[in-house]
Amino acid sequence: MSTTHFTTDHEYVRVDGDSGVVGVTDYAQAQLGDIVFIELPPVGKKIRKGEPLATVESVKAASELFSPVSGEVVEVNSALEKTPAQVNEDPLGGGWFVKLRLADAGELTGLLDEAAYETHVQSL
C-alpha cells in the first residue's frame, strides 16, 4: 500500500516499500501555469533531501523541483519530455517526475500527510 507525503513547497512523494514517486501537487502546477519543458535527472543520480531534482519551465517562469527525500533515481518519466503538459493534466498520476530508491525512510517523518497539506494550502 502506498502513502503520499507532501512538502510545504508543494512537492509530493508517494511511497511504496523502499521507493517513492516524486512530483508536484495540483496546487503547484496551477501556480506554475502551462508547463512547456521539463529537465529530468539521469537514472542513477543520487539526490539529497532538499536538493534540486528537476527543472520545470512554464509560460510564467522556470522553477526547480526540490527532492522531498534523499535517494537514488531509479526511473524517470520520459513521457514528460514529449508532453510536459501532462503535469498540468494529472500531477498526482501520469505527471510524476521520478522514482527514487529511498536512502532514509526516517526523512518521511518531517513531511506532511494529506490532511496537513490541505490545511497548509488553505492557509495560503
Tell me the per-residue pLDDT of 15-53, one tens digit each, with 9 for 90 and over: 999 999 999 999 999 999 999 999 999 999 999 999 999
Q: What is the 3-state secondary structure (H, E, C) of the chain?
A: CCEEEECCCCEEEEEECCEEEEEECHHHHHHHCCEEEEECCCCCCEECCCCEEEEEEECCCEEEEECCCCEEEEEECCHHHHCCCHHHHCCCCCCCCEEEEECCHHHHHHCECHHHHHHHHHCC
The whole model's pTM is what? Answer: 0.95
pLDDT at 19: 96
Which pLDDT tens digit goes with each residue over 51-78?
A: 999 999 999 889 999 999 999 999 999 9
Q: Indicate if the pLDDT at residue 10 is higher than 90.
A: yes
In the predicted structure, residue 119 carries a pLDDT above the cut 90 = yes
pLDDT number for residue 2: 72
Q: What is the mean pLDDT of residues 107-121?
A: 96
User: Above pLDDT 70, what percent of the chain?
Assistant: 99
Q: How do residues 85-106 score in pLDDT, each as one tens digit?
A: 999 999 999 999 999 999 999 9
Nearest to 121 by CA among 29, 14, 21: 29
In the chain, the domains with their CATH numbers are 3-122 (2.40.50.100)
